[in-house]
Structures are given as C-alpha cells and as structure tokens.
Structure 1
Amino acid sequence: MTTSLGADQSERTETPSAATSGKELRGAHLDDAHLRGPNLSGADLRRADLFCANLSGANLRDADLSGADLSGADLRRADLFCANLRDANLRGANLRGANLRDVNLRDAGLRGANLRDANLFGADLSGADLSGANLRRVNLRGVDLSGADLSGANLFCANLRGVDLSGADLRDANLFGADLSGADLSGADIRGANLSGTNLPVIGAITALKWSSMTLWGRDTGEIWARSVEQSEGVYVLNPTGRQADAFADH
C-alpha cells in the first residue's frame, strides 16, 4: 500500500488520531487501509484512493470525498452527514447502517453497493448509478433520484413516498411492497420491474412511464392498461405525452 501523507504514515495507517480532522488528504493513496473509527470530519479527501479501505464507524461529517475511489470500501455505520461524494466511486461498497443524511451523491457510482438500513434522508442521488444496489427497506423520503440508474436494484419494501424518480431507470428492479405514493415517476422506465404489493401514486398523475409485458403491477392493472399506448411490441407508455399522447387519443 502506498500513501502520500508523510514520513510517519506507517504509524497512522491503522488508527489515525483526532488530529486528522480537517486534514488535507487530497489525492492520498489509502487503498486497503484500516481506518476504522477515525475522526475525518471536514477532511479534504478529493480524488483519494480508498479502494477496499476499512472506514467502518468513521466520522466523515462534512468531508469532501468528491471523485474519490471508495469501491469495495467498508463504510458500515460511518457518519457521512453532509459529506460531498459527488462523482465518487462506491461500487460494491458496504454502507449498511451508514448516516448519509443530506449527502451529495450526485452522479456517484454505487453499483452493487449495500445501503441496507442506511439513513438517506435529504440525500441527492440524482444521476447516480445504483444498478444492482441493495436498498431493501431503506427510507428514501426526501431523496432526489431523478435520472438515477436503479436497474436491477433491490428496493423491497423501501419507503419512496414523494421521491423524485423522474427519468429514473428502474428496469428489472424489485419494488415488491415498496411505498411509491406521491412519487414522481414521469419519464421513468420500469420495464421488467416487480411492483407487486406496491403502493402506487395516483395513476392519472403519472406521465410518460415506460413499462412492458414483463412488468408485474399487482394492482390497478385495469386502469393502467386503459391509460397506456403500445410503443413497440410488448412495450407500453402510461399516460403518454406529446406525439404519443395523440396516438393515445386515437387509441
């Protein structure tokens, strides 16, 4: 493992002290480091290499981790309140039970990440890649997921009330038992998704939602069929807009 923190780094790799709070660690190489429980609040970790690092229980409040490589990192129960993780690579990271309240995760890569039991209230996940992520029973109220890639994600019994999912990719996602009441699904893609037992928004309020014959609705199927137009074989658009709306009128 290589570092860029100075000559005495070998003494700090295992258990950094509270003196690291606010320290500039921009571009540091801390891959595979064991940093469990350190105080890194306010630290500058922009573009840092934290591949597979152990940061479980770490205090990273207000830290700047934009562009950092946290792929495969252990962030269980870490406190990332108000941290900046924009464009960060968190692919396969373990964020179970982490505090991600008001975190900036815009355009972040979270493919295959474990977010179970994490607190994501007020987080910005717009444009993020959450494909295949574990969001089972996660409370996502107040989260911006517009344009996010949630294809193949596990959203079993997740709380998505009032969440902005406009333009999101939810293909093949598991939304069984999820609460989507009041959510914005305009322009989203739910082809092949499982919505069995899901609490849906008002059907008439959903616009340009793409679905397929493989989508499992579970309820309101009569109204959904009546309000949809076939776009291509086996692919439909619920409450289409623009030219598709004209086709719907003819339908």
Structure 2
Amino acid sequence: MKTRLFVPLLLAGVLSTTTAAEFPQSFNVELQPLKAQVRRVVEAMNYLGFPLSDAEQRELEAAMSEEHQPTAREGIQRVLDRHALYGVHINPEMRVKVSAGPAKAVLHEQGWVQFLVKVHNESGTTAELMAVSPNGQSLFKGGWYRGPSDPPVGDRPRNQPRPAPVAELPNEDRWLDVQMFNNQPLNRTLSGLELEYRIIQLFSRDAGKREAKMAFNVGQGTQDIGYRNEVDLLFDCQPARPITFRVKDENGKPTTASFE
C-alpha cells in the first residue's frame, strides 16, 4: 500500500514542477516601468470587477516596495501569475508561443470572466496582442470580416489587415466569445517592456465541461511554428442560476416593471 500511494504523489510533484517551469518568467525587466504598468493593470482589474483580494493587494504592495530588485520582480510575478490563464512569449524574431497559466479555467454560463495574460516580450514589439480561438467564431455570417476568430468573407478593405486563416467549426463548438481588454487605463498596444500583463475576457454560451483552443499573435506571420502559438484548455463552465422576479403594484397585484 505504501508503494502504491508514494508513486502517484511523486508523479504529481514532477508534473507540478514541470508546469511551473514552462510558464514564462522574466528576471531582467526594469522595475520602475514594470511597477507603473502593474498599477494600471490592477486599476483595470478593479474597474472590470475582478480585483485582487486584500491579502494579495498587501502582498503586491510589499513586493513593489522591496528595494532589492530581483526580490521585487519575483514577488510581483508571484501575485499576478495566480490570475494568469495564459503566458505569451515573443522571441527576438517576433515569433509568438503560448503556454497555460496557473489560473483555474472556470467560466460562467452566459457571463464574462476576466483573466490575466502574462507577456514576456523579448522582441520589444509595440504591436497589438491579438487572441484568436476557433471556438470563438461567430454563429452568424455578415460582412467580409466579423472578428479576429472568424475567417474573412469576400474582399477586405484596403486598410484592414488580413487575419490568419481559420477553419470553420460546427455551431456546437462555437461556444466561446473572446476579446482582449485594450481600453483605459491600459493602452491598446504592447508597451515594448520585456514583461507586462494584459487582460483577456471570455464569455461562455454553455454550461458544463468545454474545451477551447486559444492562439495569440502580434500580426500576420508572427505565430511560432510547430503549434507552439496555441494551447488547448478544458474549461469548467458553471451553470447560470435562474432568478424569478415577482413584481406587484401598490395593491399587491401582479404588474410589469423595468429593471436596470
């Protein structure tokens, strides 16, 4: 019995170490611009309704106040990595590869959920980071181009870039909606800093277990070869809760109402 119990525990330790090692870490980023970018990300997280916990906020502030720069870098990444669903690495040749992050892949039926994307930008590019998923294709067709995950239809306008070709999926697999949050207080494009965090927003049409493929790029032709620019994750989509409103007027009789 002892042998049977020991082996799975040992394997679990190896798998955990391997997964952590594959997630991108940055050790040489300048601390002052990193702290400025992190403050904007935290502000955006608060605005979108997924703030850090009080304990995490204190831990982050302690890391950002640390005078020893390597310790500060490690502490900042340790806090924010917990909320990162994806890690993106852009090499000096601007080839993009992606890995799964430590955050739990949990979504909510008919609701948006936000996650962080950790970007290790060795190229220093200031292009826009795009997230593309075949599971995020539109359910309807209209116009030449509908979204980053949709295959182009017809002739594109001259001022619009051609997206990477994406094979169309059956409707049952188009359960996801994907968008990057690029509004204030964040910039639309990458800053060029070696390390920064971005926010991805995911919407689930369904409840239950659903798998989705996600790829990232900073422009056509920047995807890494060998399928390294995409990752498949199994999501646990929590079912929505039905809510019943019983509206009555001043006489206690059923009536109609508008809620905002």
Q: Shorter-chain TM-score: what band?
A: under 0.3
Higher strand share: 2
Task: Return the TM-score normalized by structure 2.
Answer: 0.21
Structure with bigger RCO (C-alpha 8 Å, 6+ apart): 2
Higher helix share: 2
